[in-house]
Chains A and B, each alone.
Chain A
Amino acid sequence: MSTHDTPHADSGVNYLNASKGLGNWLLTLDHKRIGLMYLWSVMFFLLVGGAFALLIRLQLAFPGHGFLPQDASGKDMYNEFFTLHGVIMVFLVIIPGIPAALGNFFLPLQLGAKDVAFPKLNLISFYLYWVGAIMAIVAIIGSNFGWWGRLDTGWTFYTSYSIVTSGPVILAVSAAFILGFSSIFTGLNFVATIHKMRCPGMGWYRMPLFLWAVYATAIIQVLATPVLGITLLMLIMEKLDIIHVFNPDKGGDPILFQHFFWFYSHPAVYIMILPGMGVISEIISAQSKKVIFGYKAIANSSIAIAVISFVVWGHHMFMSGQTTYAGAVFSFLTFAVAIPTAIKVCNWVATLYQGSISLDTPMLYALSFLFLFTIGGLTGIPLATLSTDIVFHDTYYVVAHFHYVMFGGTIIAFFAGLHYWWPKMFGRMYNEFVAKCCCLAIFVGFNLCFFTQFFLGFAGFPRRYYSYSVDHELGEVWRSMSGFSSIGAMILGVGVLVSFVNLIVAIYTGRKASDNPWGGTTLEWTAPTPPPTLNFDHDVSIDRDPYIYGKNTGHH
Chain B
Amino acid sequence: MNDTSPLTPAPQEQATLLQAPQASEHAPQIDIVLDVINWVSLVSLILITAAMLYFVFKYRRKSENDETPHISHNLTLEVIWSVIPMVFLFGLFFFGYKTYAEINEPPANVHGVVDIYVTGRKWNWDFVYPQGGKVNSRGSLRNEKNANLEKIADLAAFKASGKDKDFTPGDSIRLSGKKDFTLGKNGEWVPADAAASAKLDDPKNSDLWVYAQSTDPKSNYFVVPVNTPVRLHIKSEDVLHSFAIPSMRVKRDAIPGNQFRSTWFTPVKEGTYLYTCNEMCGTDHSYMIGYMKVVSQAEFQKFLKDINVVDPLVAGKDCYKNKCSSCHSLEEGKKSVGPSLFNFYGSKHKTSAGEVVGDDAYLIESIKNPGAKIAEGFPPVMPPIAVSDEEMIYLKEFLKTVK
Contacts and interface: CB of A to CB of B under 8 A. Distances in A.
Contact of A556 (B55, B72, B239, B284): B72
Interface in B370-385: 372
Interface of A: 72, 75-76, 79, 152-154, 158-161, 164-165, 248-249, 251, 253-255, 288-291, 293-297, 319-321, 324, 327-328, 331-332, 335-336, 338-339, 342-343, 345-347, 349-350, 352-359, 367, 370-371, 374-375, 378-379, 381-382, 384-388, 390-391, 393-395, 455, 458-460, 462-469, 471-477, 481, 519, 549-553, 556
B2 to A, nearest CB: 13
A355 B51 CA distance: 13
Given A379-B41, A387-B100, A343 B285 contact: no
A297 B92 contact: no
A548 to B, nearest CB: 9
B193 interface: no
Interface string B80-121: 011001100110110111011101110000000000000000
Contact of B280 (A154, A319, A349, A385): A154
A349 B52 contact: yes
B59 A354 contact: yes
A393 B251 contact: yes
A72 B274 CA distance: 23
Contact of B17 (A345, A387, A472, A477): A477
B251 A319 contact: yes
Interface in B60-78: 60-62, 64, 66-74, 77-78
Contacts of B81: 342-343, 346
B48 A474 contact: no
B15 interface: yes
Nearest to B50: A349
30 contacts: A152-B283, A160-B256, A165-B282, A288-B68, A291-B72, A294-B78, A319-B253, A320-B255, A324-B104, A331-B96, A349-B48, A350-B71, A355-B55, A356-B62, A356-B66, A356-B67, A370-B48, A375-B45, A385-B97, A387-B100, A390-B250, A391-B20, A393-B251, A459-B20, A460-B274, A462-B244, A465-B285, A465-B286, A468-B286, A551-B68
B150 to A, nearest CB: 17
A63 B105 CA distance: 36
A371 B49 contact: yes
Nearest to A162: B239
A350 B51 CA distance: 9
B352 to A, nearest CB: 16
Given A293-B73, A335-B90, 14 more contacts: A161-B240, A249-B256, A289-B68, A338-B89, A354-B69, A381-B89, A387-B96, A455-B17, A459-B15, A463-B278, A465-B285, A473-B21, A474-B15, A550-B70
Contact of A321 (B15, B73, B261): B261
A294 B44 CA distance: 20
A353 B59 contact: yes
Nearest to A340: B82
Contacts of B20: 391, 458-460, 473-474
Nearest to B288: A462
A385 B93 contact: yes
Contacts of B105: 324
Contact of A358 (B51, B61, B104, B372): B61
Contact of A473 (B66, B253, B271): B271
A391 B34 contact: yes
Given A160-B238, A335-B89, A472-B272, A352 B52 contact: yes
Given A359-B56, A374-B48, A321 B239 contact: no
B231 to A, nearest CB: 14
Given A460-B276, A463-B278, A387 B44 contact: no
A320 B48 contact: no
B120 to A, nearest CB: 12
Interface in B286-301: 286, 289, 291
A339 B250 CA distance: 30
B275 to A, nearest CB: 9
B14 A473 contact: yes
A324 B256 contact: no
Nearest to B271: A473
* Interface size range on B against A: 35 or more
B184 interface: no
B227 interface: no
B59 A319 contact: no
Nearest to B32: A387
B282 A161 contact: yes
Given A290-B68, A388-B33, A254 B96 contact: no
B18 interface: yes
A381 B89 CA distance: 8
B348 to A, nearest CB: 23
B16 interface: yes
Contacts of B284: 72, 75
A458 B17 contact: yes
A259 to B, nearest CB: 13
Contact of A474 (B77, B247, B285): B247
B73 A472 contact: no
B206 to A, nearest CB: 27
A301 to B, nearest CB: 9
Contacts of A393: 242, 251, 278
A72 B283 contact: yes
A75 B70 contact: no
Contacts of A455: 17-18
Given A324-B101, A357-B55, A161 B18 contact: no
Contact of A458 (B19, B62, B100): B19
A553 B72 contact: no
A331 B69 contact: no
A335 B18 contact: no
A514 to B, nearest CB: 12
A314 to B, nearest CB: 13
Contacts of A464: 280, 285-286
Given A293-B72, A343-B78, A381-B41, A357 B285 contact: no
Contacts of A248: 255-257
B30 A391 contact: yes
Nearest to A78: B286
B154 interface: no
Contacts of B49: 370-371, 374
Interface string B315-358: 00000000000000000000000000000000000000000000
Contacts of A556: 70, 72
A324 B103 CA distance: 11
B142 interface: no
A164 B237 CA distance: 13
Interface string B162-192: 0000000000000000000000000000000
Given A249-B256, A476-B14, A153 B68 contact: no
A357 B282 contact: no
A466 B283 CA distance: 9
A253 B253 CA distance: 14
